[in-house]
Structure 1
Amino acid sequence: MPHASHTTNAPPLSGVRVLEDSHTPQARLAGLLLADLGADVVRVVIHDDSASPCTCCGGNPVHHRGKRRVNVSATEIPGLAESADIYLTDRPPGDLHDHGCSAAAIADRAPGCTHVWMPTYGTTGRWVDQLPPDNFLLAALGGVATHGPSADGSPVATTIDLIAPVHAALGATAAVSALVGRARGRHGGAAVVTGLHAVSVLMLTMMVDGLDSEVFNPGSARGPVPSWRGYQCADGEWLFLAALTSPLFIRALDALDRLDILTLPGVDGDPDSIRISPAAATAAGSALEHHFATASRDQWLQTLHEAGVPCAPTGTRQEWRESELVTELGSFTTAEHPVVGRIEMPTIPLTMDGNTWIAGGFDDEAALATLGWDKRGARSAEHRDDLPLDGLRVVDLASYLAGPTATAVLAEMGADVVKVEQETGDPYRAFSIAYLALNQRKRCMSLDLHQSDDHDHFIELLRKSDVLLDNLRPASGAALGLEPQDVARANATITHCSVTAFGTTQAGARLPGFDPIIQSMSGLALAQGGDGPPVVSNISVHDTATGVLSALAITAALYARFSRTGRGSRIESSLAQTTGFAQFDEFTSYAGSPNAVVGGANFVGPFFARSLQRCADGWVAFAAADRRSDAPLAHALGIATPSDAVTADISDRTVDDAIRCATDAGVAACPVLDREREMFDEFLSANDFTQIIDHHIHGRMAVVAGFVRWDSGTPRLAASTEPGTHTAEVLAELGIVERLQT
């Protein structure tokens, strides 16, 4: 398909053929990402297809941007796969085998094609073939609803689909990783990327549990933390204070001239107490509420910005779309759609060597005879037991969440990730169990990049590495002698990815930021809050989605290097760019486009038959496509049909009984995951969701187990590390002995 680009450079996936057999937004968005990066994506539409379409998809026409469409029978898919590099499918397990589209069947017929399977739920267990594909149900089963922004600990429905963008980027990354493996003579066989794998990334630092000792768990926090919440100002406007760490919170209190808050009863001089003690959080939060109400939002933003404290105004989606920052980032574009007319839509949230590619066309119909695909031959692989990125070294110079998520994904694909920290470690180590979950498959070394010898050692590390990922703002990179030209001078073949909050444009280059800041500025917090105060989700969708998208861009650059150019690439990604993709449907606008969902406090869903409801022994999720199911569901439950209200009293029924009634009414339903013992839930355990790691201080920790399953190879063994655990080991590999001798 034709591409629009700022230059004439070819997209990194030029020449790659993708056969997309999709029924869900996540698989379709995965195909869109591959198309925007240059792949020739052909979507198959099967006559009399038995696979259920997703009830939450909404039919966004932009999901098919840059693709061609062919009408085929199911029996023709294996033959088409002989001419493809990637077969991307989201069929449920039983349907996959019935159509002869399993990994084994495709490998037998088309050994040169990589099979990427993206089922909505998992690969086994009660629900995988019983439920229609719907991320509202997956959010209930997988813990996303359980950890929503609730004031009382009850589950919450989000106004956007948090799972689809992460699942899409993860599936696309697995596909491109396989291409990298094939280009390097590695095995590029079959990958399974389930919806629960996407939940694992999304909930990476939220679904954790200390088994031997009590450790602060970000996922267990109930109610707002004073350093990490919204405040209403004297003019009625809202801002979000994002002082994540104790030093940042102290800096914020100093700027606000309210250090006295540290002396309040319950706080008692310990800033960490506000995250642990409800009494301390209430006292400090109340004091700050009254203080912020004494001046306008702009006054407070200026005060906090001058002190270097991350914070942001709360705004609407329209204000975000029209902002100077978003204009400079080029986050949106327009095109003419053959059916719906002029359409405004998000661009791909990545730049590579200054380019942002957008595939042209929308689901253009093609005939099999005119595809122009010749058959691909089988490809030899010298290392058939390897993971696709085995043998590649990735240097992780990032802290906190977004950047390290990218390298965590690359580690799952087989890369050797070396995390470089200052002597005292990544500041995120303050959250011990979350840090462990995020960095479990990485080696850690300590270097002081302000010290000349250590800086030289770091440059030597870059010379012998394939990827550098950092989250340095431009001024910080310049101060460390690590501007893009410095990195390229050290290694012309390295892929250098920088992850920032707001990009490197004039409007955003100096701004620090965290996920809630983007939620607040982009309109997501106002949408979740509805008619009430803005509500920021506990789940860091921008951090995680930015991380996985960065991993996708890195693998695409590696593929271009190994298959065609022999050169490195410069990649930029940001949380600000990602929000367009994270809210893809909400930021897509055309004549007749559906209205975005609006939430409220403790939001349970848009209507009764698509909501979370309390039962006698837990919570149940109903997932009808529209309100027409309200009356049949209410009748089956033996209650009056709710009028305008979403919530109904079914507290006399058990969850299993409510599911049976919903099934009788033709409404899909499932239980909502119980937060207690969530890491050992039967369905999650059947899908290998959890693993136990011994932390070097706190003992056994339950964390998520992985983001992808390959048909060969295993990633590095998960382990807890101290700062500098592998410094000597890595320096020895570099041949640097003087540091070892001292």
Structure 2
Amino acid sequence: MSQEPGILDGLRVVDLAQGLAGRAATRYLAEAGADVVRISRPGACELGTGTLFRVLDRGKHPMALDPADAPGLKRLHALLAAADVLVHDLTPSQARALGLDDAALAALNPRLVFCAIGGWPQRHARADDPVAETLVLARLGLLDEQPGHRDGPVFIRMPFAGWIASWLGAVGVMARLIARDRSGTGGAAHTSLAQAALVPMTMHWSRAQRPSSVFAQGLPKSTPIPLHQASDGQWIHVHYSPDAAPWMAQALAAMGPEAVAAENAKYPPSHVAPNFGANKAIIATRPAQEWVRHFWEHDVAAQIAAPFGAIYADEQARANGYVAEVEDPVLGPTLQPGPAVHVQPPCRVQVCAPAFDLDVPWPSPSALPTSAPEAGRACHAQPPLHGLKVLDLGAYLAGPFACMLLADLGAEVVKVEPPSGDAMRRLERIFAGTQRGKRALALRLGTPQAQPVLQALVRQADVVHHNIRMPAARKLGIAPQQLRALKPELVCAHVSSYGPHGPRADWPGFDQLMQAACGWELEGGGKGNPPMWLRFGVGDHLAAAASVFAVLLGLYRKTRTGQGQAVAASLLGAMLTTVAEAVALSDGSITPIAHLDQDQAGIAPTHRLYRCADAWVAVAAFSPQAVAAFECLTASDPQAHFSRLTQAQALASLDAARVPAAPVLQAQGEPFLDDPAHAAAGLHASYIHAEYGQMRQIGALWDFGDMPLSLHIAPPALGEHSEAVLRELGLDQAAIDALVEAGITLCRPATAMAPTAKATT
């Protein structure tokens, strides 16, 4: 029985990327049905050709050509003239040298969508810096934001910026393709490692004119994280307080208040576990698996910090297709990451594609919408998702952040939360980092009085998105099947913790637990050290971006068929994608990966941090030439070499030897928000908040060239737009007052709100 073609069937993609982000982005497109030609450039220094890149390049047509010579460039132009999408990671100067800058590409093929994923934004002063994640993180100051087992900045083992950039790139391409359906023309859909690295910092780096004490405090990196060692030596990550679990409750009672207080006093206060110290002492009395089984039975979210690659044997991951059986031509039968999203027709693992024959023309383009596209490029004065209406019913982080991304891309988003507020509002700075661009309606879902309002909101929406656990969603009447019964053409998106299928489909889960399950907490701790979480909430942000990709796939198909659908993403699926550095072999073994050293400084002498006499430098030498130059410069003891130099001297010597390096900046939260180079590249957004006054937050995550982003609406205060939204739905003042009186809604007085200001981008 033949399979239904994928959503992107007939879409023609050229992959000219060398690094992780671009090659992962095109793999997502290939899994959705696109025809991808993967070009390798003879003599180019690719950042990897091992297991990771075997996984990233699967299902693509391999093709070797050198665009630096005339025959190679001619062949490439022939491909691009018939292509729909180009993804590359060339810097602007490299692209110009090859005749692949934006203007040249638009002239070659006006329908071409081109996505560059460089180190820095195209308009940034550092746009031509080497495309190396560690160097970008060093200059941004993010290596200083990660807690470690020693003082000072630490090397971040997980290439989280590359993985987030891969999803931003795929989302940007899809948004531009949707805009192309309106206009008939393509254009830019750029992002960068720097913008991706800043995604999780939306929770931490922001400034307010009148911050509350909670906003001003933020979430310091010194906050203790509930990683506890069990009696068998394994570590368990527990999210929120486990005190109600019977074993824990009994043990706390047996300890008595004084002993509990004494254990708690050994650690700083925890915002997630009031008895953090006592929990740690009690968990040390039983084996890890016994604790996890007990916690799961009593709805306490917990995971063992597992070895890297162990997730391939996980029943839940297998049930959702997040683990795929792949016959690799070199490695034989393997287990690898599968598609991270659920759409219809489904994304599929593509088998290794045959070599591409340039003499055989690509098939005809996929059919465009039946409606005629708007003439010319005038419509590009609007953001790519202009006119899309989104209803955000989510809470906490992954669901709301996905809707913020849609708002940045131009969608009109209405956020619905209870009159008591989204549970994340208590962490004010984190909450504000997921809510830009939305209008807020306070509404108590699940009540008879709210049902007509909910139904009216659904009927006017194109997309409904949330991350509420399905049993609760069904009680509230917002499960996808319930919503699509009201409006079949809806695209309904759900983000879960563990995926929509399998025994843990309805379980609670959080970002840190997926880091633990997928092996990143053990790897992040460094050799011989306790595990360490990645502070940046990367699982939530990866799942949010993957969910947006799924939404845009659903909208792309709806344009062609008129049919809506339910789409799904999850924390587990998005995080498991990042395990592609290793695969499981037929004998059960896991292919090797590079491990972080005990000092948490790096994974190789040529890819690590070095402490100088006054500060730190980061080195990322990948090419044979750069490696040889580094070894010649530093002899047999690189750390001793750098210890004798100041940071400025070290950087000067590395630059003279043409070894890629960067200063490791520290305490950059405030300086980032004042930096004119970041402002010029669109990395700041400023507006007036109803309570905080003037705000500045992290800005643009994409650059669409001739299409703007929508970055001018501040995060909403609770109930800020309730009255306006209800009036738009047809309710008069008496009806609104009745809802307020019944506690169904909350309307913020208009006099308490300041006007919205234009963003600085």
Amino acid at match of 2:539: H
Instruction: State the Cα deviation string for residues 67-118 of structure 1 (Å, max 9, x = none).
Output: 2234452244444333222222221110111222122222223112222222
Q: Structure 1 residues 275 and 700 mapped into 2: Cα distance closer, same or farther (>3 Å)?
A: farther
Task: State which of 430, 435, 441 in structure 1 corresponds to 2:431.
Answer: 435
Q: Structure 1 residues 167 and 304 mapped into 2: Cα distance closer, same or farther (>3 Å)?
A: same
Pair 1:325 & 2:316 matched: yes
- Residue 636 of structure 1: CA displacement? 2.9
Higher deviation after alignment, 211-220 or 469-478: 211-220
Residues 392 and 416 in structure 1, CA contact (< 8 A), matched pair in contact too: yes
- Residue 685 of structure 1: CA displacement? 4.2
Amino acid at match of 2:646: T
- Residue 634 of structure 1: CA displacement? 6.4
In structure 1, stretches of 5+ residues that fail to align are 1-5
Match of 2:700 in 1: 706
Match of 2:114 in 1: 115
Pair 1:66 & 2:51 matched: no
Task: State which of 347, 357, 361 in structure 1 corresponds to 2:352.
Answer: 361
Pair 1:350 & 2:341 matched: yes
Residues 45 and 623 in structure 2, CA contact (< 8 A), matched pair in contact too: no
- Residue 682 of structure 1: CA displacement? 6.1
Query: C-alpha separation between the residues in 1 aligned to 2:18 and 2:204?
Result: 29
Q: Structure 1 residues 96 and 405 mapped into 2: Cα distance closer, same or farther (>3 Å)?
A: same
Match of 2:682 in 1: 688
- Residue 400 of structure 1: CA displacement? 1.2
What pairs up with 1:478-517 in 2 under 5 angstroms? 478-517=474-513
Residues 147 and 219 in structure 1, CA contact (< 8 A), matched pair in contact too: no
Residues 264 and 278 in structure 2, CA contact (< 8 A), matched pair in contact too: no
Task: State which of 534, 552, 556 in structure 1 corresponds to 2:531.
Answer: 534
Q: Structure 1 residues 216 and 729 mapped into 2: Cα distance closer, same or farther (>3 Å)?
A: closer
What pairs up with 1:406-445 in 2 under 5 angstroms? 406-445=402-441
What pairs up with 1:573-588 in 2 under 5 angstroms? 573-587=569-583
What pairs up with 1:299-314 in 2 under 5 angstroms? 299-314=290-305
Q: Structure 1 residues 505 and 77 mapped into 2: Cα distance closer, same or farther (>3 Å)?
A: same
- Residue 461 of structure 1: CA displacement? 0.9
Residues 10 and 365 in structure 2, CA contact (< 8 A), matched pair in contact too: no
- What SS does the corresponding residue of 2:174 show, helix, strand or coil? helix
Q: Structure 1 residues 425 and 462 mapped into 2: Cα distance closer, same or farther (>3 Å)?
A: same
What pairs up with 1:102-141 in 2 under 5 angstroms? 102-125=101-124, 127-131=126-130, 133-141=131-139
Q: How large is the RMSD of aligned CA atoms in angstroms?
A: 3.4
Q: Structure 1 residues 702 and 58 mapped into 2: Cα distance closer, same or farther (>3 Å)?
A: farther
- Residue 307 of structure 1: CA displacement? 4.5
Query: C-alpha separation between the residues in 2 aligned to 1:666 and 1:219?
Result: 40
- What SS does the corresponding residue of 1:288 show, helix, strand or coil? helix
In structure 2, stretches of 5+ residues that fail to align are 66-71, 739-761
Query: C-alpha separation between the residues in 2 aligned to 1:688 and 1:532?
Result: 39
Task: State which of 558, 561, 569 in structure 2 corresponds to 1:561.
Answer: 558
Query: C-alpha separation between the residues in 1 aligned to 2:499 and 2:653?
Result: 50
- Residue 211 of structure 1: CA displacement? 6.1
Pair 1:613 & 2:604 matched: no
Residues 204 and 430 in structure 2, CA contact (< 8 A), matched pair in contact too: yes
Query: C-alpha separation between the residues in 1 aligned to 2:619 and 2:284?
Result: 40
Query: C-alpha separation between the residues in 2 aligned to 1:7 and 1:208?
Result: 52
Query: C-alpha separation between the residues in 1 aligned to 2:357 and 2:612?
Result: 52
Residues 146 and 154 in structure 1, CA contact (< 8 A), matched pair in contact too: yes
Match of 2:143 in 1: 145
Residues 301 and 311 in structure 1, CA contact (< 8 A), matched pair in contact too: yes
Q: Structure 1 residues 326 and 7 mapped into 2: Cα distance closer, same or farther (>3 Å)?
A: farther
- What SS does the corresponding residue of 1:15 show, helix, strand or coil? coil
- What SS does the corresponding residue of 1:723 show, helix, strand or coil? coil
Query: C-alpha separation between the residues in 1 aligned to 2:594 and 2:404?
Result: 32
- What SS does the corresponding residue of 1:543 show, helix, strand or coil? helix
Normalised by the length of structure 2, the TM-score is 0.85
Query: C-alpha separation between the residues in 2 aligned to 1:180 and 1:124?
Result: 24
What pairs up with 1:209-288 in 2 under 5 angstroms? 209=207, 213=211, 215=214, 221-225=220-224, 228-243=225-240, 248=241, 257=252, 260=257, 264=261, 273-275=269-271, 285-288=276-279
What pairs up with 1:115-194 in 2 under 5 angstroms? 115-125=114-124, 127-131=126-130, 133-185=131-183, 188-194=186-192
Query: C-alpha separation between the residues in 2 aligned to 1:300 and 1:379?
Result: 59
Instruction: State the Cα deviation string for residues 145-167 of structure 1 (Å, max 9, x = none).
Output: 22223244522222231112211
Higher deviation after alignment, 105-114 or 186-195: 186-195
Normalised by the length of structure 1, the TM-score is 0.87
Instruction: State the Cα deviation string for residues 48-79 of structure 1 (Å, max 9, x = none).
Output: 67x65336987622222222234452244444
Q: Structure 1 residues 64 and 691 mapped into 2: Cα distance closer, same or farther (>3 Å)?
A: same
Residues 583 and 590 in structure 2, CA contact (< 8 A), matched pair in contact too: no
- What SS does the corresponding residue of 1:583 show, helix, strand or coil? helix
Match of 1:659 in 2: 651
Q: Structure 1 residues 110 and 158 mapped into 2: Cα distance closer, same or farther (>3 Å)?
A: same
Instruction: State the Cα deviation string for residues 524-563 of structure 1 (Å, max 9, x = none).
Output: 212222322222111222111111011001101100000x
Residues 607 and 619 in structure 2, CA contact (< 8 A), matched pair in contact too: yes
Higher deviation after alignment, 294-303 or 51-60: 51-60
Query: C-alpha separation between the residues in 2 aligned to 1:531 and 1:509?
Result: 34
Query: C-alpha separation between the residues in 2 aligned to 1:470 and 1:118?
Result: 29
- Residue 290 of structure 1: CA displacement? 2.2
Query: C-alpha separation between the residues in 2 aligned to 1:440 and 1:704?
Result: 10
Pair 1:203 & 2:201 matched: yes
The percentage of aligned residue pairs carrying the same residue is 25
Residues 495 and 570 in structure 1, CA contact (< 8 A), matched pair in contact too: yes
- What SS does the corresponding residue of 1:383 show, helix, strand or coil? helix
